[in-house]
Amino acid sequence: MKLTIIIPVYFEGSAVWEAYKEVRAVLNDALPEFSYEILFVDDGSQDDSFEHITRISEQDPNVCGIKFASNYGAHTAIRAGLEHATGDAACFLACDLQDPPSLIPQMLEKLGPDSQIVAAVRNARQDPWTSRCLSSGFHLLARNLVSADLPAGGASMYLLGPHALVAMRQFKERNMTLEGLFLLTGHKLIVVPYERRPRTRGGSKWTLAKRLKLFADFFVAYSYTPLRVMSLTGCCVAALGFLYSVFLAINRIFLSNPIQGWTAVMIAILILSGLQMTMFGVLGEYLWRILDEVRARPIYRIARLTGHLASMPDERLGEH
């Protein structure tokens, strides 16, 4: 059995050597019966990350690399790795090694015909409290609005078996999240708990803008809840408006009280206008994603390949 280890890279520089050495040590010491490849995917870094990957691939024939022409995001980088993986199973983890490669043997033990997706789920993490709060809120909403099958603590390290790999490659969505696609494959998800390591170098590449895009992609792509909330809100506001109009009519006809309240009218207009703009924004998120799918632009563009991937036909370069 051959195993592919996918490591997305973004402005990591010489840190790719540390990731390579630790992953190789685990594979050689704990899994000597497995053949393997280590696939680095450079997500459009503007530093010397890919030069380091190239040097590693020149020393080790089990290492190969992909460099994107631009920055497409970590999920797209992992997706490209899954599409180019030559192994029977594939595992991906972050280059910063906060997800320890030593979990790979444990995850392989859980892999089976009825459990084709194994997730390493964080039961504790040493990240800043702001990151922990944002992550907890996101996963709480995701489990309640999308699927209760999602890991409660979130996961950024997964192992996919042969059937899950085939299923993943059939999806061609552009604005996607990996967790959502894993749910759509229909394969059972098995969890391996672990305590996430503290970050030892560099900083998180997940900016607020990237987090917000991931949030929007996840809930728009895999849940109709935003549309249902809009419909329910519209019905509630219409009902309140009707009841208020009945109240004003009774107050005027039977109690002879003049209709007043310029301030109340302005407040109502502002609230309703705000609700309408919010709903238009939600609709715009859906429409923009429909447009993006219809245009059928490449999901990513590959600029360079290294290692054994470099000998692939020229059609592996360019648009995907």
- pLDDT tens digits, one per residue of 66-80: 999 999 988 899 999
Please, what is the average pLDDT of the chain?
Answer: 82
User: 163 and 306, same structural domain?
Assistant: yes
Please enumerate in sequence order all residues whose Cβ is within 8 A of that of 197, keeping only pairs 6 or more positions apart, or say none.
97, 98, 99, 100, 126
Determine the pLDDT at residue 91.
Answer: 95
Cα–Cα distance, 178 to 170 (Å, whole number): 13
Q: What is the pLDDT of residue 221?
A: 72
For residues 265-283, average pLDDT: 80
Between these two residues, 255 and 294, which has the higher pLDDT value? 294
Please provide residue 148's backbone torsions phi and psi, each rounded to the nearest 5 degrees. -75, -10
Q: Which residue has the higher pLDDT, 94 or 139?
A: 94
* Residue 28 forms part of a structural domain: yes
One-letter amino acid at 142 equals A
Radius of gyration of the chain (CA): 25
7 and 154 inside one domain:
yes
253 within domain boundaries: yes
Same domain, 286 and 153: no
Q: What is the mean pLDDT of residues 197-217?
A: 68
Residues counted in the chain: 320
On the question of pLDDT at 276 being above 90, the answer is no
pTM for the model stands at 0.78
What are the tokens at 288? Answer: 């923009």
Tell me the pLDDT band of 3, cut-offs 50, 70 and 90. very high
Same domain, 256 and 121: no
Nearest-angstrom CA–CA distance, 250 and 243: 11
Would you state the pLDDT for residue 313?
A: 59
Same domain for 232 and 285, yes or no, is yes
Counted domains in the chain: 2
Average pLDDT of 97-107?
Answer: 91
Quick: pLDDT tens for 181-201.
787 788 888 888 888 777 666
218 lies in some domain:
no
- Give, in order, the Cα–Cα distances in Å from 179 to each of 147, 151, 186, 190, 207: 10, 9, 12, 13, 19
Is 10:47 a contact under the CB 8 Å cutoff?
no
Q: What is the mean pLDDT of residues 255-277?
A: 74
| 88 and 148 fall within a common domain | yes
**Do 35 and 180 fall within a single domain?**
yes
pLDDT the model gives residue 228: 79
Structure tokens at 249: 């009519």
53 and 123 in a single domain? The answer is: yes
**What DSSP state is assigned to residue 316?**
G
Q: Which residues partner with 40 through β-bridges?
A: 7, 65
Query: What is the three-class DSSP state of 26?
Result: helix
- pLDDT confidence of residue 242: 77
146 Cβ partners below 8 Å, 6+ apart?
Answer: 180, 183, 218, 219, 222, 223, 225
Residue 217 in any domain: the answer is: no
Same domain, 150 and 230: no
**Same-domain check for residues 55 and 73:** yes
| Reported confidence tier of residue 7, pLDDT bands at 50, 70, 90 | very high
Please state, in angstroms and rounded to a whole number, the distance separating the CA atoms of residues 98 and 33.
26
Q: Which of the four pLDDT bands, split at 50, 70 and 90, describes residue 175? A: confident
Rounded to 5°, the CA angle 20-99-37 comes to 35
Joined tokens for residue 49: 């990350």
- Looking only at Cα atoms, what is the longest distance across the chain? 92
- Maximum average pLDDT range among 54-58, 184-188, 250-254: 54-58
